[in-house]
Amino acid sequence: MSSFTPFEEKMTAAGISTAAIKAFNRCYSSLVANESGMISEDSISPADNVAEWDEIIATTAPADKDLIAQCVCIKLNGGLGTSMGLQKAKSLLKVKGEDTFLDLIVKQVKHLREVSGTPVRLLLMNSFSTSADTLDYLKKYAADGFADANQVELMQNRVPKIAADTLTPAEYAPQPELEWCPPGHGDLYPALLGSGWLDKLLADGVKYAFISNSDNLGAQLDMKFLRWFAESCAPFVMEVTRRTEADKKGGHLAVRNSDNQLILREVAQCPDEDIPEFQNIAKHRYFNTNTLWIRLDALKEILDSNGGVLPLPMIRNSKTVNPRDGESTKVFQLETAMGAGIECFPGARAVNVPRTRFFPVKTCSDLLMLRSDAVQVDATGKVALAPERNGVAPIIDLDSKLYKLVDSLDGLGLPSLIGVTKLTLRGKFHFADGAILQGELLMENPDDATKEVAPGVYAGA
């Protein structure tokens, strides 16, 4: 029987909190027990009892100042965006003029403080990779209290990689830091508990947490929805949106037949024979946007009743200890997902939100759309599609071979996309200022030389 003791000793020596050690122990026990975590199609039903965001907003009054004061905004800020060629925190990427994700997040929270007259808190869940850069950037907001790590930082934990053949802590003498990995955003829960932030927030009268990814600028605290959430008495609400063909390989919301509890099912939890139904977007219609609303007192109660651990499903990833050396020791990296917490809260609910609350930036195509005139940002940091878009974002499909890294957009220029239905770009282009694209456009350039697009209107179907 594999022993957890070496892991506990290694994590304790590194100053990892007891809450994080307990959470990792639970995942490790699942690994040792060879638990599959599979969720078969016949064990679930489609999630149909999903409230509609638009109906809620149309019939609910805005939250008052006292209610806003009881809410904390938490942004997951641990990602580097390496897939887009970034070496710093992804939230430091410029998205509108000189404003970064982080600038717009701070503007949004400052606005909440102004309208409520209360010091609404912002917590950034940083990782060891993003903490220094983020805190250094926030010095520009020192006068507003955003630069003090003790006031704004919720530090993500790290966990040991596991040698796949022995299930012992992986060792890598050339770079000992590679013996560790992030535990996924499900670490939110042990991080809140182990850091003392959960108890501190509750002691300060903060009862509600609004949580989202820092690169999803559509996720903004809504005053009306906050009131609805508070009055619903639901302990946990997940913002979901309708799956499309582009989302069919991603996880979906479902109802567990045994207890009618809402759950998430990821593709890694789906048996091979059930994949066709997993990808049936007419049946399983909703996916998690990773924007959550949580009652902190309910979270505390569940943690206390489970020995300080939220019983999240374990996700096992097979890697090598040095990701750049395929011949190095094979390891397991164990993660948990924040959204999977929905199955831990009896009475949890889901709300179907419009895609305008879901602006993730995972590719340069996403970034170009966000930087363009199809998306507008006001003085309070509120991000929204231009009114002319009627709530429908343009589809942008850049040549992934040429426009994979952020730097590649510098030579592309920024055409007007406010009238675009779909833009497909294949080959090298440069759009001059004043280039206006409209309709559905396929623009191809087979030559190695960059094709110049002069000012003017270019209309497709």
Alpha-carbon Rg for the chain, nearest whole angstrom, is: 23
Distance from C-alpha of 171 to C-alpha of 49, rounded to nearest angstrom = 48
Residue 139 annotated as catalytic: no
User: Residues 438, 444, 448, 451: is their CA dihedral positive or negative?
Assistant: negative
Which listed residue (200, 362, 382, 401) is catalytic?
362
Instruction: Judge whether 320 and 179 are in contact, CB under 8 Å.
Output: no
- 2: number of CA atoms within 13 Å, CB side? 20
Q: How many CB atoms lie within 10 A of CB 173?
A: 7
Distance from C-alpha of 441 to C-alpha of 443, rounded to nearest angstrom = 6
Distance from C-alpha of 150 to C-alpha of 131, rounded to nearest angstrom = 12
**Sheet with 395-397, side-by-side order of all strands:** 395-397, 416-426, 435-444, 456-459
Distance from C-alpha of 344 to C-alpha of 334, rounded to nearest angstrom = 19
Distance from C-alpha of 152 to C-alpha of 150, rounded to nearest angstrom = 6
Active-site positions? 362
